[in-house]
Amino acid sequence: MSLREISLSLPNRPGTLAGVARTLARERINVAAISVDSTTAKGRVRLIVSDPARALRLLSAAGYRAESREMLSVRLEDRAGSFLKVLEVLAKEKVNLQSVAILIAREGNHPLVALSTNDLARARRILRRAGFASHLADQLVSELLLTARALDAELHSTGAI
C-alpha cells in the first residue's frame, strides 16, 4: 500500500469536520495525520489514513469531494534542524515541496514525516541516497489499520462495545 494524502474542501461550519471523522470512524479507518486550515467560508482538510482507497470511496459516497496524491516518507532524527536537512537536500536538487505532514507513527525513536513533491520518484531517489527515506512508513501506517481491527475485535469479544 502506498502512502497517500486525501484532500477535501469543506464549508467552514461547526460539525463539518466531525462528519468526515464520523464517516471514517464508522468504518474503522484510522487517521495517521491531519491538517486543517480555513478562511471564513472554506476549510481545507488533508488526511493520511490507514486505508486511503476505501476512505476515498466512503467519503465520495457520503457526498464529499475528495482527491488524493501519493506521498513519500522520511525518517528524521528527533532533534532541532533535522527536517531542515531534508529541505536543503531537496532545494539543492530543485525539487519543490507540495505538502508536508507529520505522522503519528514512528520508526523506532525516529519521527516520520510524509511529503509530496513536484517529482516524487526523483525526490525518493535523492532522499534515499541522502539516508532520509523510510522504508517502513507505509507499513507502519498500514499497521494502524491492523491494530484498529484487532482492538475492535477484542472489544467486541469482551462485550466492551
- Please write the tens of the pLDDT for every residue from 81-112: 889 999 999 999 999 999 888 877 777 788 88
pLDDT reported for residue 146: 47
Report in angstroms the alpha-carbon separations of 98 from 29, 38, 120, 152, 160. 25, 18, 10, 35, 42
What are the extents of the domains in the chain? 4-70, 72-142
* pLDDT-based confidence at residue 158 (cuts at 50, 70, 90): low
Report in angstroms the alpha-carbon separations of 151 from 21, 33, 35, 105, 144. 19, 20, 26, 17, 10
Establish whether domains 4-70 and 72-142 are of one fold. Answer: yes
3-state secondary structure (DSSP) of residue 96: coil
| Residue 144 burial (C-beta neighbours within 10 Å; 0-12, 13-18, 19+) | buried
CB-based contact 67:7 (threshold 8 Å) = yes
CB-based contact 8:68 (threshold 8 Å) = no
Higher per-residue confidence, 123 vs 142: 123
CB-based contact 69:5 (threshold 8 Å) = yes
* pLDDT-based confidence at residue 145 (cuts at 50, 70, 90): very low
pLDDT of residue 138 exceeding 50, the answer is: yes
Question: Got the DSSP string for 13-53?
Answer: -TTHHHHHHHHHHHTTPPEEEEEEEE-SSEEEEEEEES-HH
pLDDT of residue 8 exceeding 90, the answer is: yes
CB-based contact 136:107 (threshold 8 Å) = yes
| Homologous superfamily of 4-70 | VC0802-like (3.30.2130.10)
Starting at the edge strand that comes first in sequence, how are the strands of the sheet with 97-107 ordered? 72-75, 110-117, 97-107
pLDDT reported for residue 135: 66
pLDDT reported for residue 142: 57
pLDDT reported for residue 1: 47
Residue 31: name the closest of 153, 151, 137, 145 by CA.
Answer: 145
19-76: per-residue pLDDT in tens? 999 999 999 898 888 889 988 889 899 998 888 999 999 999 999 999 999 988 888 8
Q: What is the CATH number of domain 72-142?
A: 3.30.2130.10
